[in-house]
Amino acid sequence: MPDPELQMRPTSSSSASSPATLDQKLQQGDLLREAKEQLESSLKTITTFYASPKAPAHTGPPNCERCNTRKRRITAAYHEYYLADTPGRWDSNLPEYRAELQRLFDQPNGPPLEEIHTLFQNTLRSYLKQTLLAPSSQDDKDATASMLSAAKDTSTILDTYHTSSQSCALENALLAQALSSAQSPQERARLYIETYCIPSPTDTPPQKNLKQKYARLFEQLTPHDEVMAAWRQEAERGQEAKLGEMKGRLADLRMGQSAHLKAKRKKEEAGHGEVVA
């Protein structure tokens, strides 16, 4: 069976039909990584046990209880990997796919693991097409979509998507790599704060206040995309307020200039009348 190399890494999945937020991608990455680690641990435990003196003796063939039990344990480990009922898991809203996997596991002659893994990879690849390809103009969507269509291994696709210099700016690529290594929401919150909220010597007092405000939101583990959307909206409102203030000042200047010109004309007209008299 091919190695199920499926570690998803972040950069910027609510459903299988819309682009995922960063936090949703991170959640899926965590779940996939944890599932793979659990599978590897289970298989290692089984292998170690049956290579030890504690393992029961063979009673066959045919119908060796030791071999049958070992196969059942291996099947259970793969069943947990492919069909764990984990809340928020990427395939939790794909009942037909999960039913087909269960049908394959229920085969009388044992589950065809190669066929199961192929179905798993193809379905995950389709899911990634719909959720990984965010609508940002900076994303290298064409290259990623091409790799997905060419049936490249999902780990290769995800690596390319998240580390490509064409996918995002250097600082975002570095953040993506750091987030990939983070093991908890708290670690990720700290990375967000270090990336977005560290004060700069050139910051104005309002800018410093904004950074402090949104650093607190990250500390409270507010989802990344929610924080950034609120930040952008507040910044836009601030720019609109500044623009309105500048327009008001310009209107005042124009009114003052108009009054000055009127007064000047009156003075000139009055002076001209005195000369004529």
In the predicted model, what is the mean pLDDT of residues 208-225? 88
Q: Is the pLDDT of residue 2 over 70?
A: no
Least confident of 116-125, 146-155, 158-167: 158-167
Determine the Cα–Cα distance for residues 240 and 238; give it in Å rounded to an integer: 5
Residue 175: what pLDDT?
73
For residue 268, which amino acid is it? Answer: E
Number of Cα atoms under 13 Å in the Cβ half of residue 75? 17
Higher pLDDT, 143 or 70: 70
Mean pLDDT of the chain: 76
Residue 264: what pLDDT?
78
Domain ranges of the chain: 22-170, 184-276
Diameter of the chain measured on Cα atoms: 136
pLDDT in tens, 231-260: 888 877 777 767 777 777 787 787 778 777
Residues 225, 228, 229, 230, CA torsion sign: positive
Q: Kindly state the percentage of the chain with pLDDT values over 70.
A: 73
φ/ψ bin of 109: left (φ > 0), alpha (ψ from -120 to 50), beta (otherwise): alpha
In the predicted model, what is the mean pLDDT of residues 111-140? 76
CA angle centred on 47, ends 42 and 53, rounded to 5°:
125
Contact in structure between 111 and 105 (CB atoms under 8 Å): yes
Residue 3: what pLDDT?
40
Higher pLDDT, 18 or 56: 56
CA angle centred on 224, ends 219 and 228, rounded to 5°:
105
pLDDT in tens, 72-90: 999 999 999 999 998 888 8
Number of Cα atoms under 13 Å in the Cβ half of residue 103? 8
Residue 18: what pLDDT?
55
Terminal-to-terminal C-alpha distance of the chain: 112
Two tokens, residue 72? 């059942």
For residue 151, which amino acid is it? Answer: A
Two tokens, residue 196? 């977005």
Least Cα distance to 186 among 218, 229, 224 occurs for 218
Residue 172: what pLDDT?
63
Higher pLDDT, 18 or 250: 250
Q: Is the pLDDT of residue 272 over 70?
A: no
For residue 84, which amino acid is it? Answer: A
